[in-house]
Structure 1
């Protein structure tokens, strides 16, 4: 096992421990319970917290069943970075941002 694989496994096990703690608590919705374990989720809108919670559980299940830690870790990192961006004031409705269409190409600098 490489060092990278070992670190991925440790991160997945830490994530699994947090998820187990969340599932043992029976007070509140899944998103509310996960927000206690992952306080950065509070930066997300309530509907996004629900999506985040379900996406994290789904990714964890996929990781555990396939032995691929990167699936859960990538999902966790993606949602955490999204929450960080929202907390910094960036969102799809932010003033001054111009979103490009999917079919629009941009020249390299």
Structure 2
């Protein structure tokens, strides 16, 4: 995983921030900006969305590490302690969820893209919520492949 110092920030001078603030702010909505200063350590300017994503990623990482170092039960069982909503899933789905979250976490950590694991976490949580409300219990009637349905 890349170190924070290796992260490819876009760099602007502090004078750019004072002279062209609208331009710098617009750029910061899309990319993290490192503001260099002659008289101090560089500062980082990013959107609230990006800062919140990083905070949620760190929170998820804390839960993941806790589940990893616990020694009681399978990894999926340990992960349900951190995410009790997983109990709404079947045992097989809990295993799939745990593996999907672990894979997405590895991708997020290695690419510094929090949305990869956060979207996976949200998808599984929404699935568990749907199962808990009984949406998975209905008998479905599947249409044949050659059957067409008119648009409403």
Same fold flag (TM > 0.5): yes
Counterpart selection for 1:74 from 110, 119, 124: 119
1:9-49 Cα offsets, whole Å, 9 max, x none, are: 00000000000110110110011000111000000000000
Greater Rg over alpha carbons, structure: 2
Change in 2 beyond 3 A, CA 1:100/1:14: farther
CA distance in 1, matches of 2:120, 2:77: 18
Q: Distance in 2 between matches of 1:102 and 1:8?
A: 41
Shift of 1:106: 5.9
Q: What CA distance in whole angstroms lies between the structure 1 residues aligned with 2:55 and 2:80? A: 22
- 1: CA distance between counterparts of 2:116 and 2:51? 15
Q: Which of structures 1 and 2 has the larger relative contact order (alpha carbons within 8 angstroms, sep 6+)?
A: 1
Residues matched between the structures, number: 106
- In the superposition, the TM-score normalised over structure 2's length comes to 0.64
Alpha-carbon RMSD: 2.0
Residue in 1 that maps onto 2:109: 64
1:41-79 C-alpha deviation (Å, 9 max, x unpaired) = 000000000000000000001000000000000000000
TM-score normalised by L of structure 1: 0.88
Q: Which has the higher strand share?
A: 2
Q: As a proportion of its length, which structure holds more helix? A: 1
Determine the C-alpha separation between the residues in 2 that align with 1:48 and 1:67.
27
Partner of residue 95, structure 2: 50
Q: Which one of the candidate residues 28, 35, 40 is aligned to 2:80?
A: 35
